[in-house]
Amino acid sequence: MNAAAFGLNLAVTAAVALAVLLLAFAAGVRSGRHRGVDTAWGLAFTAVALTGFALSDHHGDPGRRLLATLLVTVWGLRLSVHLWWRSRGAPEDPRYARMLSRVPEGPARTRYALRIVYLLQAALVWFVSLPVQAAQYLPHPPGGLAWAGTALWAVGLFFEAVGDRQLARFKADPANRGRIMDRGLWRWTRHPNYFGDACVWWGLFLLVADSPVGWAFVLSPLLMTYLLAFGSGKPMLERHLGTQRPGWAEYAARTSGFIPLPPRRHPAAPPTPPAPHTGPRP
């Protein structure tokens, strides 16, 4: 790996991630809703991957560069389109509304949103995408670990896309208003999309894991998995659902919280609601 070229790449991709989230911030201020940052999340990863692909020309193996870029782009664009379609015309996301309500309306709240929602997510995009950026600079073709990572990425994309589709169809039926989604993949895990997201990023890490230098970036998928399972993903959503959906406790008691498992036939006592968390969604 060319250290000088990779160092320049890191600086440029940091600026690209920041630019995407700042554009999302400007749109959020103008519309008065900050839920659009979720759409910008996937777009920022895609922009970073495309930037790395362009900068790594003549430095990394063409096949590995193309593979890493395609996987991130497919994942990022699918996620962004899905979240944009789901949020059309919707009011502010309750998660962001609660988070920002801690600061009085006015310039102070705007600065708080910039710092806690947008700048933090720009930093997360850059850090989580480090394995992808490194993979684009490896000089040798992808081997067995990289193809295993591609397979794991495909499993993750399946759980995300199918889970999102199943939930969308469930919500579209007026007969299901106020009910808990416990069908399809949601019967096996309370969060098939979050589990899928974790698989995607561990799969992308494997694209660089066949090189000794690649293991320097293992903190990226570890952080993403922590945020999804214990940080601003699962706990924040479950805290909201626990107060809005009758029957949530019974569903949570019989259904795995993250890794897909067969439903429990004799569920234990409902889990204790997670402690409050103020971080942004991953």
74 burial type by CB count under 10 A (0-12 exposed, 13-18 middle, 19+ buried): middle
pLDDT for residue 274 is more than 60? no
**pLDDT confidence of 272, banded at 50, 70, 90?**
low
Q: What is the pTM of this model?
A: 0.88
Domain boundaries, the chain: 3-254
Q: CA–CA separation, 5 vs 174, rounded Å?
A: 55
Q: CA–CA separation, 216 vs 220, rounded Å?
A: 9
Q: What is the pLDDT of residues 127-171, one digit of tens each?
A: 999 999 999 999 999 999 999 999 999 999 999 999 999 999 998
pLDDT of residue 278: 40
pLDDT of residue 268: 58
Q: What is the mean pLDDT of residues 267-282?
A: 48
Task: Round the CA-based radius of gyration of the chain to a whole number and report it.
Answer: 19
